[in-house]
Chains A and B, each alone.
Chain A
């Protein structure tokens, strides 16, 4: 069933359009920054964007920071919200279940397809922005430095002021890709759950986004600090800890854990609701 879901995912033009749009946003930002040479000052605007003027290899991480807050979660909510409700709308849900596809199995396959979608989207953003970064901002050539570091493959500066080699950047960007992907799964699980509640894909996607916006507001609210460690968006920006030296794992670990909990809880709720639901669509 997973294979079937992946084929459906791949053969759906809408999914590719959304990924292309996701890739286009950072490219647009890159063009503006490259043309004007006006990056936001360090510590402001999307994280690391200030650093890309000096080195294009950091742009994949900056690009992820650009799509992470709104664009990516919207795409994920739409795809996840469509997973069951979309089948119901197309009239295919009854045929799939009568095939028979086990209901729990269908949910699991939908979740796997969703993970693959997010991973595809994030990897595509990273790859296109890497190419864009190299083309528009270039990469620092080998240098002997004033502080005596003579490594000829030092290319970028971490948040802690230390040097990052291309291997460092590659590994840390890979970590960011994994973290951003996992960060989206909480929203995805909420949308998937709502998708089993309603026959409207749009309703499910909007519900998940509403949950997300609520979470975002509460995270920013001081008086809600007691609950903020449990909110799905609390650790979203912690990917930036990959670019500190040493890597600060605390929030990254928590980010992974909180998403795992959200996936577990909402997938469980989706299962409880869907496994014995009357399919009347």
Chain B
């Protein structure tokens, strides 16, 4: 659905996007992760034809962008950075204007009312009255922005921080909505800096750090077993003795065993008469993953890998143009 090849964007001296090869496949729920100022938004804007690449190629829905952008965009729904609306108009009036604007199929006057009603219903604003958008809460604006993105039943949804400003209940609703839309065949490209949001929704992630794509893979594979087993036992001392040589790490009653066979370890311990509270395969958390790639992927001299080091000022200054 989205394929970029050696995509690069330079704003003056600042390299915002640096030779990125991104691939979003049809049906993906793609989570695009990166801290603010990492080039995330610039890349999204290039995909939508708002910002022109310095070099490299973009293909969206099989068509080259920006050459065939007018053909591509009608099939995309987007929420770029933050939702926007004409503050002095009502939500419905805003949707009507957005619906009437632009070319492409499915924007005719006929059925506009129904399209707007459906979109509002999907995002939970069906009961909205005629008050001006400037009186909306942040959450309502977010939902309105989503409704605008959903107006034309797009093949591809490009969403930037779609749950921003929503309460936990709203976040869950949006997540369920996106999953439902995805199940109906729409590819979802979600850019975010909230790991939990991506972790709970996405099937595939890409991580961008200072303009470079440092990781891109299926979430399931990334989060596959590490080949180690975590054991909790009140008899940790004896267990450690029993598993001598295979204990990689120990923290009070928690042992990390360098063995991929959890059942085998369990059987071994139980047959030795030890009490076992918990035996699980070790899996990496998304947070560890992201921190490890953004850490090791950097060319920083201090090379620290624990925790997030501070970002260089030059990169942070991209926020103005890029986010």
A contacts B directly (C-beta below 8 A): yes
B-side contacts of A97, CB under 8 Å: 48-50
A-side contacts of B93, CB under 8 Å: 11
Chain A contact-residue range equals 20 to 34
Contact check: which of B45, B73, B89, B98 meets A280 at CB < 8 Å? Answer: B45
Nearest-CB residue, chain A, relative to B84? A91
Contact yes or no, A100 B102, CB < 8 A: yes
- B94 smallest CB distance to A (angstroms): 9
A-side contacts of B11, CB under 8 Å: 278
Bound-state Cα–Cα, A3 to B96, Å = 12
Bound-state Cα–Cα, A252 to B148, Å = 48
Contact yes or no, A92 B84, CB < 8 A: yes
- A252 smallest CB distance to B (angstroms): 37
- B111 smallest CB distance to A (angstroms): 17
Contact check: which of B45, B85, B88 meets A279 at CB < 8 Å? Answer: B45
- B116 smallest CB distance to A (angstroms): 14
In this complex, which of A3, A90, A94 has the most chain B Cβ atoms within 10 angstroms of its Cβ? A94
Query: How would residues 78 to 94 of chain B score, 1 for a CB under 8 Å from any chain A CB and 0 otherwise?
Result: 10111011111100010
A1 at interface, CB cutoff 8 A: yes
Nearest-CB residue, chain B, relative to A5? B101
Nearest-CB residue, chain B, relative to A91? B84
Contact yes or no, A98 B76, CB < 8 A: yes
A276 at interface, CB cutoff 8 A: yes
**Interfacial residues of chain B within 112-129, with CB under 8 A of chain A in the complex:** none
- A185 smallest CB distance to B (angstroms): 24
Contact check: which of A7, A12, A100 meets B74 at CB < 8 Å? Answer: A100
Contact yes or no, A95 B51, CB < 8 A: no
- A267 smallest CB distance to B (angstroms): 20
Query: How would residues 2 to 16 of chain B score, 1 for a CB under 8 Å from any chain A CB and 0 otherwise?
Result: 000000000100000
A280 in contact with B102 given A94-B45, A98-B73 (CB within 8 Å): no
Contact yes or no, B104 A100, CB < 8 A: yes
A13 in contact with B88 given A98-B50, A100-B70 (CB within 8 Å): yes
Bound-state Cα–Cα, A42 to B281, Å = 99
**Interfacial residues of chain A within 200-223, with CB under 8 A of chain B in the complex:** none
Bound-state Cα–Cα, A8 to B89, Å = 9
**Interfacial residues of chain A within 11-46, with CB under 8 A of chain B in the complex:** 11-13
A-side contacts of B50, CB under 8 Å: 94, 97-98, 278-280
Chain B contact-residue range equals 20 to 34
Bound-state Cα–Cα, A8 to B88, Å = 10
B-side contacts of A8, CB under 8 Å: 86, 97
Bound-state Cα–Cα, A126 to B50, Å = 43
A-side contacts of B45, CB under 8 Å: 94, 278-280
Nearest-CB residue, chain B, relative to A276? B52
Contact yes or no, A4 B103, CB < 8 A: no
A102 at interface, CB cutoff 8 A: yes
In this complex, which of B74, B86, B93 has the most chain A Cβ atoms within 10 angstroms of its Cβ? B86
- B210 smallest CB distance to A (angstroms): 18
- A85 smallest CB distance to B (angstroms): 14
Query: How would residues 158 to 184 of chain A score, 1 for a CB under 8 Å from any chain B CB and 0 otherwise?
Result: 000000000000000000000000000
Contact yes or no, B148 A95, CB < 8 A: yes
In this complex, which of A4, A101, A278 has the most chain B Cβ atoms within 10 angstroms of its Cβ? A278
A112 at interface, CB cutoff 8 A: no
A250 at interface, CB cutoff 8 A: no
Bound-state Cα–Cα, A8 to B51, Å = 26
In this complex, which of B74, B100, B148, B322 has the most chain A Cβ atoms within 10 angstroms of its Cβ? B100
Contact yes or no, A100 B88, CB < 8 A: no
B321 at interface, CB cutoff 8 A: yes
- B284 smallest CB distance to A (angstroms): 36
Contact yes or no, A100 B89, CB < 8 A: no
B-side contacts of A99, CB under 8 Å: 73, 98, 101-102
B262 at interface, CB cutoff 8 A: no
Bound-state Cα–Cα, A106 to B73, Å = 16
**Interfacial residues of chain A within 210-267, with CB under 8 A of chain B in the complex:** none
Contact check: which of A1, A12, A90 meets B102 at CB < 8 Å? Answer: A1
Nearest-CB residue, chain A, relative to B321? A280
Bound-state Cα–Cα, A81 to B84, Å = 20
Contact check: which of A3, A11, A91, A278 meets B51 at CB < 8 Å? Answer: A278
**Interfacial residues of chain A within 74-112, with CB under 8 A of chain B in the complex:** 90-92, 94-102, 105
Contact check: which of A11, A12, A100 meets B73 at CB < 8 Å? Answer: A100
Contact yes or no, B88 A95, CB < 8 A: no
Contact yes or no, B80 A98, CB < 8 A: yes
Contact yes or no, B80 A94, CB < 8 A: yes
- A94 smallest CB distance to B (angstroms): 5
What residues of chain A have their CB less than 8 Å away from a CB belonging to chain B?
1, 3-4, 7-8, 11-13, 90-92, 94-102, 105, 276, 278-280
5 contacting pairs across A/B (C-beta < 8 A):
A91-B82, A92-B85, A99-B101, A276-B52, A279-B45
What residues of chain B have their CB less than 8 Å away from a CB belonging to chain A?
11, 45, 48-52, 69-70, 73-74, 76, 78, 80-82, 84-89, 93, 97-98, 100-104, 148, 321-322
18 extra interface residue pairs, beta carbon distance < 8 Å, beyond A92-B85, A99-B98: A8-B97, A11-B93, A13-B88, A94-B50, A94-B80, A95-B84, A96-B101, A98-B50, A98-B76, A98-B78, A98-B80, A99-B101, A100-B102, A105-B103, A276-B52, A278-B45, A278-B51, A280-B322
